């Protein structure tokens, strides 16, 4: 009885990983910026604790969504090591927004719009 051990998973090339990384950054960064603008206070006023909590949860959801498709795509490809390198770099902005969201004073802005 003959058994083959050929790996039949598809190979994702460099351009494929790069496309997934660009899509991750293009979706997560604007989402995090929008969340930061919506949930932060302006004119140096202290931020509302409920709004800060909502913003932190929303940023964690964006981070989860940014990581989720990498966790699905990497095991399905034969050259996952290259994908891991692209994935780590692509997820770093979303992770940075989450870390910044837990810093003191992150949700207070000195920007004043309107009267």
Judge whether 12 lies within some domain: no
The token duo for 87 is: 């994935």
- Give the domain extent around 74: 25-101
**What is the predicted pLDDT for the residue at 105?**
83
Question: Where residue 48 falls among pLDDT bands split at 50, 70, 90?
Answer: confident
Judge whether 74 lies within some domain: yes
The token duo for 111 is: 């920007």
Q: How many domains does the chain have?
A: 1
- What is the rounded average pLDDT of the residues 33-52? 87
**pTM, full prediction:** 0.82
Judge whether 82 lies within some domain: yes
């Amino acid at each position: 009885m003959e058994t083959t051990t050929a790996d039949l998973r598809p190979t994702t090339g460099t351009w494929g990983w790069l496309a997934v990384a660009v899509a991750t950054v293009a979706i997560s960064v604007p989402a995090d910026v929008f969340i930061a603008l919506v949930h932060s206070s302006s004119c140096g006023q202290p931020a509302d604790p409920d709004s800060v909590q909502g913003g932190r949860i929303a940023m964690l959801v964006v981070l989860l969504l940014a990581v989720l498709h990498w966790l699905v795509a990497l095991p399905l490809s034969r050259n996952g090591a290259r994908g891991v390198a692209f994935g780590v770099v692509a997820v770093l902005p979303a992770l940075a927004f989450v870390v910044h969201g837990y810093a003191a004073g992150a949700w207070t802005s000195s920007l004043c719009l309107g009267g």
